[in-house]
Amino acid sequence: MADTKREIERKYEATPETRLPDPGKVPGVSAVVDKGVVELDAVYYDTADLRLAAASITLRRRTGGSDAGWHLKLPVAPGVREEITATLSDTVPGGLTRLVRARTRDAELVPVVRLRSSRDIRHLLDGDGTLLAELSRDSVRADRLTEGGGKAAWDEIEVELADGGDPSFLDTVDKKFRKAGLAPAAAPSKLARALADTAPKGERAPQQPSPPADPGPETAGGQVLAYVREQADALLAYDPAVRRDLPDSVHQMRVATRRMRSAFKTFRKVLDRSVTDPVGEELKWLAAELGVARDQEVLAERLKSRIDDVPRTLLLGPVRGRLRLWSVAHGSGARRKAVAVLDSRRYLALLESLDTLLADPPLLKAAGGAAARVIPAAVINDYARLEGRIHHALELPSGEARDLAMHDARKAAKRARYAGEAATPLLGKPAKRFTKRMKAVQKVLGDHQDSVVAREALRNLAIQAHAAGESAFAWGLLYGQEEAAAAQREAELPGVWEKASAPKLRADLTG
């Protein structure tokens, strides 16, 4: 069974002659315990074209030491990785294979590098005997296992923070070590160094593919492509998190799909929609499939919160029990279905289409134009679209027609917000202010739509309760509360829109 931990470490260059600074003199360290030398033997797996290495992901089978087994390391931040382990076996565990499938697609995982290390380990303890960090000095021998590969050897010093430790302790160690003359390791990992030092002559370091003719950051095309790449990278990064059912992962993955779809529409004069529209439809499909679990979870939590606020004397009948039954019935197997989507051929085809689009972007004439001119104009066009929908919604009386109009306005507000976010790297504070106001509009409209969805669920729950011979009083009470909440959002909208529609917000975008 796989286990997970957060790995936070610092690495330093060393030679066999390098003298290790006395770790006992690091502030906070009260004792240094020598744990001896262990011999580690690790074989790293990747695709033949090193797709995992290009994404700073490592997958290895290691023997020796206290944690022999399979280790998958996913990057979180510089010096921080999520390590997922599995028991030792002869082949790559299926659970780990699935976690990297968005990267490997249908390519086979093969041995690419073997690292054998003699590790001299010391534990740094505080005054209570609690482990602060593990300090190790490694003498490494690397063998490239692919055709044309070579050999390499080096020494390095590593300090890994103890589980649950304070990351600032590594800053204290770093200050001490740098003062003693140690330099941070040039490579982010042993595998990265091994690949660089053992590469066949003329081979480039693993890297993500880039377009053959990038239009440059000062152009509209350069800005838009950078934003789309960022969202595509986020989509890939959240794939293993969704498979592991990590908190908020489904939501963040859906946000990445929505941002890309919005960018395709907002910047339709930059990227050819005859190419992006089919990709956008597949992104829409993915977001909808992933949303089954997320939307049900959010709705159930909303209804539970409503029930918690109702006095017990008004909860007539088995209200909480019926909500639990409803939640289970609607949420059963939702996560399993989401993972099945990520394993589907359609999802992998979507990832391939994104790769193709970014490798050979369908740039239009405006892509070569100045970003400072093209990007603000696109953002303001999205604002105008939102403005029309807001005015239409406010002109309608309360009821189903207004609910639908406000839902349409919500989608337009989200697109305008994403447009502002996409423009922020270029325009800075003016785009941030614009985005903030669009987000406020989206929130009011989103809260209103949530009440519409909640009312439909409450009506169904009332029908079920009545059919079972239970009192429907509480469900009617909650329905009325949701109606009141919707009315309040409708009353708030004109004031929020007045701030969001201030001419200065748009004028600042164009300088």
What's the CATH number where 85 sits? 2.40.320.10
Contact 243, 99 (CB under 8 A): yes
Contacts of 505 (CB under 8 A, 6+ apart): 430, 433, 434, 437
Is the pLDDT at 211 greater than 80? The verdict is no
3-class state of residue 212 by DSSP? coil
Amino acid at 236: L
378 inside domain: yes
Contact yes or no for 92/86 (Cβ under 8 A) = no
Mean pLDDT lowest among 116-125, 246-255, 496-505:
246-255
Q: Which residue type occupies 349?
A: A
Q: Tell me: do 343 and 409 sit in the same domain.
A: yes
- pLDDT tens digits, residue range 252-310? 999 999 999 999 999 999 999 999 999 999 999 999 998 876 788 789 889 999 999 99
CA distance 328 to 331: 5
CATH for 423: 1.40.20.10
Could you tell me if 74 and 160 lie in one domain? Answer: yes
pLDDT tens track for 220-244? 999 999 999 999 999 999 999 999 9
Whether residue 212 lies inside any domain: the answer is no
The region that residue 116 occupies, defined by phi over 0 for left and psi between -120 and 50 for alpha, beta otherwise, is beta
Label residue 164 exposed, middle or buried (CB < 10 Å: 0-12, 13-18, 19+): exposed
What pLDDT digit, counting tens, does each position of 108-164 carry? 999 999 999 999 999 999 999 999 999 999 999 999 999 888 999 999 999 999 999
Interval 53-111: pLDDT, tens: 999 999 999 999 888 999 999 999 888 999 999 999 999 999 999 999 999 999 999 99
Distance (Å) of CA 2 to CA 44, 93, 130, 319, 440:
18, 9, 26, 39, 42
Yes or no: say if 361 and 225 are a contact pair by the CB < 8 Å rule: yes
Residue 333 has pLDDT above 80, yes or no: no
Same domain, 190 and 329: no
Domain count, the chain: 2
Q: What is the pTM of this model?
A: 0.89
pLDDT digits (tens, 9 = 90+) for 358-413: 999 999 999 999 999 999 999 999 999 999 999 999 999 989 999 999 999 999 99
Statement to judge: residues 270 and 190 lie in one domain: no
In a domain, 205, yes or no: no
Specify whether 261 is located in the same domain as 190: no
For range 170-195, the mean pLDDT: 95
Query: Which range marks the domain in which residue 449 is found?
Result: 220-509
